Amino acid sequence: MKIVQKTLLYKVSPFNTRGEKMEEWLRLNYRMKSVGEQDFAFHSHAQYEVYFFHRGDCKYLIHHSIYELQPGDIIIMDGLTAHRANPSKFEMYERSVVHFSPDWMIPVLEELRMPELLSPFKEMSNCLLRGQDEGERELILQSIKAMDQLANKDSTFMMKPEIEVELKILLLTILMQIYKLSKRENQQLAMPKSEKVVHVENIAHFIQDHFKNSISLEDISSELNLSKFYLSRIFKEVTGTTVMDYVMTCRLNQVKFDLEMYPDRTLMEVATESGFESQAHFSRFFKQRVGLTPSEYRKQKLKL
């Protein structure tokens, strides 16, 4: 069984005051629930992310770190690092998520002379916040709920100015509470990890360091002194994906970055520098995963 909830997506006017096209700045899910067979693929995005875990049995993989989540956990992410939830298909998985563009909030924070409210996303990027607090988590959750209720009042995608102002005020409250939490938890949470999770983190770390080269299960097995069968089994169990799929995901994320950041590089250069052995395989894989050809993807990004 699946429970699917709509993601609320809002934009300001599609063009700013200089006539330039504006990118998406806010995605919102409040207490989204799902259970059963699900496809939570590795992904990345330009927006910062606030992830609030409510319930379920879920491991969260970000880069090469794995978090075994507990209710009330908050993860703050820069978005650009590939990440993936791996919830149990036998338990209800409930979470609230806010994606926001930092560029959308910077003018407000500069006017208030509080640019440091974005510092946790830069300095503590991809960090889990857990432990005692003085009500910050409840304020964060209530603000997400209020944003959800406010957004549901307006069915159009052309955001009204007063709605945008209210959403920014609520997001400002969230950023303030995260900043307070980060001041008390100014380093990544040290959690005891099982031997299995430590092995999987080591596998992911090795892949992150070597995905641009030709690597195989044999290479990883030899480097980490683990049997191919064991490392394949525990990686799938903990992350929900296969070792080689993770390798290809790392390559794909690198390619997407390079296509946008280095428009003068040829597709062949981008492909080979990211670990793909042939342009034909690269093009097929990219179209299958992204839904666009590499050329179409680059054109789309460069128009934004």
C-alpha 206, offset from chain centre: 21
User: What pLDDT was estimated at residue 190?
Assistant: 52
Is the per-residue pLDDT at 69 higher than 70? yes
Residue carrying the six token digits 């080979």: 272
Distances (CA, A) of 160 to 3, 12, 13, 21: 31, 8, 9, 17
Is the per-residue pLDDT at 157 higher than 60? no
Residue 142 tokens read as: 């209530």
Give pLDDT tens digits for 227-261: 999 999 999 888 888 999 999 988 988 898 888 88
Give pLDDT tens digits for 178-191: 999 888 764 444 55
User: What pLDDT was estimated at residue 304?
Assistant: 56
Collect all residues with Cβ–Cβ distance below 8 Å to 192 and sequence separation of at least 6. none
The least confident of 78-82, 169-173, 276-280 is 78-82
Is the per-residue pLDDT at 22 higher than 60? no
Residues in the chain: 304
CB 199 within 8 A of CB 225: no
User: What pLDDT was estimated at residue 82?
Assistant: 78
Distance separating alpha carbons of residues 250 and 244, to the nearest angstrom: 10
Task: Check residues 260 and 77 and name the one with the higher pLDDT.
Answer: 77
